[in-house]
Structure 1
Amino acid sequence: MTRTVFEKADVVPRVAEVFRELGYEGASLSQITARTGLSKGSIYHFFPGGKEEMAAEILAHIDAWFVSHIFEPLEKNEPLAAIQKMWREIDAYFQSGRRVCLVGAFALDETRDRFAAMVHQYFRRWMDSLCGALVRAGADKEASKAVSEEVVAGIQGGLILARALQDEAIFERTLAGLSERVTRFLKTAVP
């Protein structure tokens, strides 16, 4: 039988999907090995610190994706194009509401205290990046801050509701509504 050799970069997304499905507490080592196809030895080779190290690596992996696909474009690119890109990337990343936000899940369960700094940094940078893009587009900073909080909260709520009701159209409508909200805000906020 051919043996598959994995790199850590291949393993982290696989383990992340187990955490997405079962949560941090529900993802036992036996569940992780069964669902990833990795042996216990391989898991401990990649994550000698156990489940806590797995979670930290997953959060870092997610953060890296958001930095390159969402945060940096919002911070550096033309603001209106970057905001439009954000909607597309978010829809693709969360698979139109079929994929739970693992960082959001970590904020809600028992892992919150263990990873509070990473969770806080993720949500804060997302809101700050979007706020900065809105301000660069000509909107008032305080109003942009409020809209940015509304957008991130709306995305998270849309994900939860879409998953809870098993209706991805909810997430799609949420994104469309938030996009329209931002468009209206910019039309009224920018002279």
Structure 2
Amino acid sequence: MSKASVIPQLMGVFQEYGYEGASITRFSEATSLKRASLYHYFPNGKEEMADEVLDYITQALQEQLLAPLHSDLPPIDRLRAMNQNIDAFYQHGQRDCLLALLTIGEAQGLFQEQVQQALNLFIDSLATVLVTAGITPITARERAEEAIALIQGSLVLTRGLNNTATFERVLERLPADLLRPE
């Protein structure tokens, strides 16, 4: 098993337990690797694992979630394609956003810069599509920030209510809401 192949499993542990609740025992169970193997791959322990997972998420954000936003499709189609990717990435609202989980407790100080960069990448990519659709840059950025807040909030509601309806509704309405006339 390679180091790269265990990153998604580590991400699952962080998503399920948060940074503070993630432990070497849980990582070992999720990856089927012994503690010594985990420390071989990640000598600095949990912090290094989270750092690698954040790099993985940022790459996934660029290559999977946001890729449609950089296509030549009409803006509405780009947003719809992005939503399909978001739906798949968060497993129809069943997975928590690790970026949000890494802004809580001791993780916040450790990963603030990486989380901020990932969120700004998402905001900037969305805003660029809206500007190409004729929305002013200031309004485009505000709408992009609000869209991410809606997605994140719907993930919290999904978890709290054990019901994906809000997440599904947010994704369904998001493209038209983002492109509504000023």
Q: TM-score, normalised by structure 1?
A: 0.89
Q: Distance in 2 between matches of 1:80 and 1:172?
A: 17
Match of 2:58 in 1: 63
Counterpart mapping for 1:159-170 below 5 A: 159-170=155-166
Q: Distance in 1 between matches of 2:2 and 2:55?
A: 16
Alpha-carbon spacing, 1:72–1:177, altered in 2? closer, same or farther (3 Å): closer
Query: Is 1:20 aligned to 2:28, yes or no?
Result: no
Query: Is 1:38 aligned to 2:33, yes or no?
Result: yes
**Shift of residue 76, structure 1, vs aligned partner:** 4.9
- What letter matches 1:32 in structure 2? F
Within the candidate set 143, 154, 157, 2:153 is matched to 157
**Shift of residue 134, structure 1, vs aligned partner:** 0.7
**Shift of residue 158, structure 1, vs aligned partner:** 0.5
**Shift of residue 72, structure 1, vs aligned partner:** 4.2
Alpha-carbon spacing, 1:161–1:112, altered in 2? closer, same or farther (3 Å): same
Question: Of the two, which has the highest radius of gyration?
Answer: 1
**2:76·2:176 contact (CA, 8 Å) conserved in 1?**
no
**Long gaps (5+) in structure 2:** none
- What letter matches 1:137 in structure 2? A
1:151-187 deviation per Cα after TM superposition (whole angstroms, max 9, x unaligned): 011000000110111101221112123233124x1xx
**Shift of residue 31, structure 1, vs aligned partner:** 1.8
Task: Note the aligned Cα RMSD (angstroms).
Answer: 1.5
Q: Distance in 2 between matches of 1:17 and 1:145?
A: 30
**Shift of residue 109, structure 1, vs aligned partner:** 3.2
Query: Is 1:146 aligned to 2:135, yes or no?
Result: no
Match of 1:133 in 2: 129
Aligned residues: 181
Q: Distance in 1 between matches of 2:96 and 2:116?
A: 17
1:63-114 deviation per Cα after TM superposition (whole angstroms, max 9, x unaligned): 1001112334324543333212111100110011100000111113320110
Q: Distance in 2 between matches of 1:17 and 1:178?
A: 27
Q: Distance in 1 between matches of 2:67 and 2:120?
A: 14
**2:94·2:158 contact (CA, 8 Å) conserved in 1?**
yes
Q: Name the % identity.
A: 38
**Long gaps (5+) in structure 1:** 1-5
SS in 2 for 1:100: coil
Query: Is 1:109 aligned to 2:105, yes or no?
Result: yes
SS in 1 for 2:167: helix
